[in-house]
């Protein structure tokens, strides 16, 4: 599995015409990369949308510092649960085609409008 390193993220942003300063990016496309974990997004504080579809993610930890996050697309992974640590700013959450067995911690997302499971 590919590791989501700081260097990889910066090179990925540069390759796709995004900002080299992490906090200036409002979206990031990380789908179909083979990631097993979400890591090193602490500096990406301006993110409003993250696309993580089709990786090997088992959880959604690592997004705690993304306080402006509105849309999280994490379908087609191996996620088991929705953590308490998701940013409360989420209005769209897609965790369809995962291993989620029990819906919990959704009450901690007060502006959630769209949920796909």
Q: Model confidence over 17-27: pLDDT tens digits?
A: 999 999 999 99
Q: Is the pTM of this model over 0.85?
A: yes
Q: How far apart are CA 90 and CA 93, in angstroms?
A: 7
Q: Which two tokens stand for residue 47?
A: 């993110």
Residue 44 CB-half CA count within 13 A: 26
pLDDT tens, residue by residue, 62-94: 999 999 999 999 999 999 999 999 999 999 999
Q: CA-CA distance, 25 to 79, in Å (whole number)?
A: 25
Give the single-character DSSP code of 24: G
């Amino acid at each position: 599995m590919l590791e989501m390193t700081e260097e990889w993220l910066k090179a990925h942003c540069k390759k796709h015409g995004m900002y080299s300063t992490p906090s200036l990016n409002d979206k990031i496309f990380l789908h179909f990369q083979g990631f097993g974990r979400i890591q090193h997004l602490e500096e990406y504080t301006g993110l409003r949308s993250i696309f993580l579809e089709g990786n090997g993610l088992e959880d959604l930890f690592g997004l705690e510092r993304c306080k402006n996050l509105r849309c999280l697309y994490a379908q087609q992974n191996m996620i088991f649960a929705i953590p308490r640590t998701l940013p409360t700013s989420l209005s769209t959450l897609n965790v369809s085609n995962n291993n989620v067995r029990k819906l919990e911690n959704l009450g901690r997302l007060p502006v959630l409008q769209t949920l796909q499971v």
